[in-house]
Amino acid sequence: MPDAPANHEQIRYWNEQSGPRWVKYQQRLDTQLEHLGLTAMQRAQVKPEEHVLDVGCGCGQTALELAERVGPHGSVLGIDISQPMLARAQDRRDEIRVANLQFLHADAQTYPFDRERFDLIFSRFGVMFFDDPQAAFHNLCTALRPSGRLCFICWQVLEKNDWVRVPLRAVSQYVQLPAPSSPHAPGPFALADPDHVRRLLEAAGFSGPRIESYETQLNLGGARNIDEAVEFTLEIGPVATPLREADAPARVRAIEAIREALIPHTNPDGIRLGGAVWLVSAQRER
């Protein structure tokens, strides 16, 4: 039997399970994550006329913003493994007729990019899902021009991200949660250890990794009220799967527990909980 392709589990997951849900909640996810993406772009110092690769571009919000920043004489290529999310990104591009933005359905870990093509490789939460991150970052490094830049944003540890931790703790007494995975296994928190990130980047050919902490309050799923926040939590994030697998009585109790846990975080502009990320930047070694 031939070996499974790289990232096959993530490819299946983002095309069959999570991708369609992210498309459904695209606007609300954009509301939650937009500020973080813009913060990372400010750190990346995107310039007019640059050529940029957006890794894990998803439904296209960051790629569209990057295309505007590089202007008509620059270009952006958004790459993602999720066909449903890319289809939504292409629709958004076509709706506003963005000429300097293209999308590619491929795996950034293995795709044979033209060497030294890009000035900047950017990612908002798109580089934590590689099954071989060192190989992936090395592949991306070869696509950068000499002294080209890498800038991405990734989550810090679960314990510092209340937008995930609070719902998980609420349901833990009613449903069986998955056993903790390896700290560096593909997933939202795969790059939570800054020392691990630094080692990966240096081994992949990057120099001077800079890893900065940024903490803020996130509007959970762009929710305007508690009902929308609960609905979002049931569809997106780590409690979604165990709740779908739970029996009806346990599910009812768990949903009520989520509601009670989120009520104290209600604000006039939505349900706000703490989030902590790393802003990571590095250069390709000459």
pLDDT in tens, 80-116: 999 999 999 999 999 999 999 999 999 999 999 999 9
| Residue-range definition of the domain harbouring residue 68 | 8-284
Q: Are 151 and 122 in contact (CB under 8 A)?
A: yes
Q: Which of 185, 164, 127, 128 is nearest to 32 (CA)?
A: 164
Mean pLDDT across the chain, nearest whole number?
A: 94
99 located within any domain = yes
Cα–Cα distance list, 282 to 208, 238, 271 (Å): 6, 30, 34
Number of folded domains that form the chain:
1
3 located within any domain = no
The confidence score (pLDDT) of residue 241 equals 84
| CATH number assigned to the domain comprising residue 227 | 3.40.50.150
Q: Are 232 and 221 in contact (CB under 8 A)?
A: yes
The confidence score (pLDDT) of residue 244 equals 85
Q: Which of 170-174, 182-186, 230-234, 275-279 has the lowest mean pLDDT?
A: 182-186
- Of the two residues 211 and 6, the one the predictor is more confident about is 211
1 located within any domain = no
Q: Is the pLDDT of residue 1 over 50?
A: no
Mean pLDDT of the region 9-14:
90
76 located within any domain = yes
Q: Is the pLDDT of residue 193 over 90?
A: yes
**pLDDT category, 3, cuts 50, 70, 90?**
low
Helix (H) or strand (E) holding 254: helix 248-262
Give 181-184 contacts, CB < 8 A, sequence gap 24+. 184/133
The confidence score (pLDDT) of residue 221 equals 93
Cα–Cα distance list, 199 to 147, 151, 194, 211 (Å): 19, 16, 9, 12
2 located within any domain = no
173 located within any domain = yes
Amino acid of residue 110: T
Q: Are 145 and 119 in contact (CB under 8 A)?
A: yes
Residue-wise pLDDT tens digits, 137-150 = 999 999 999 989 99
